[in-house]
Amino acid sequence: MAGEILVNGVRVTPRGNMDKVQLMSLLHGKHYQAVKEGRVFVAHAIVTAPVIYTTASGTGGPLIWNGSADREVNVLKIGWGQTVVTTVAAALGWTGATGQQVAPTSTTAIDSRANLLLGGEASKATPYRVGTPLNAGTFLMPFSDVNTGALTTTPGRMNWIDVDGLCIIPPQCWGSIAASATATTLVIQTCVVYEEIQL
């Protein structure tokens, strides 16, 4: 029958509002289906003195290189924790660039990586702790300041942002956490949660 949908084998009429817009709710979290299909990954890096985004050498991290020919990397979430303060005032942000047909050089292995469907296959994109891409970052999307005072003077807080697909890494491109200025002495634990989407 027109206007009906199938839910668990039963035909039902979807609800709508006065503007005839179908109403929906999340039965599970918004990334549940993508995680269930094995398409969501996390990469975790421990980075000392993250470099300014306009410097290619030692960029990271994580630095995610999409060397695939048939996937887009869709950045969903970024998390971080500061374990040593910086002596340089700086902000953390997201950067990236095109033209990366081969893997970045001078790479350091990622500290951990996983498919968030436990037991799922590894991502097609390759995350590194840090590396040197061919081209330096072309932009910075800041998402956090970093503390220059004693860690004991800063209240604990959640350092977690929803990027929700604002950043896409196409094939032969890279993306990474970076800083607005090289954050001397800063040590951060970072993670990027990303989805791989078949082209």
Tell me the per-residue pLDDT of 97-124, one tens digit each, with 9 for 90 and over: 999 999 999 999 999 999 999 999 999 9
| Sequence-separated (6 or more) residues with CB below 8 Å from residue 195 | 31, 34, 39, 40, 41, 73, 74, 76
Closest to 44 (Cα-Cα) out of 190, 196, 197, 155: 190
Asked if pLDDT for residue 90 goes beyond 70, the answer is yes
pLDDT at 2: 55
Instruction: Return phi, psi of residue 122, to 5°.
Output: -70, 155
The rounded radius of gyration (Å) of the Cα atoms in the chain is 20
Segment 115-138 mean pLDDT: 97
Asked if pLDDT for residue 13 goes beyond 90, the answer is no
| Cα–Cα distance for residue pair 182/199, rounded to 1 Å | 36
pLDDT at 20: 66
| Residue 71 near residue 166, CB atoms below 8 Å | no
Asked if pLDDT for residue 128 goes beyond 90, the answer is yes
Tell me the per-residue pLDDT of 22-39, one tens digit each, with 9 for 90 and over: 666 667 788 988 999 999
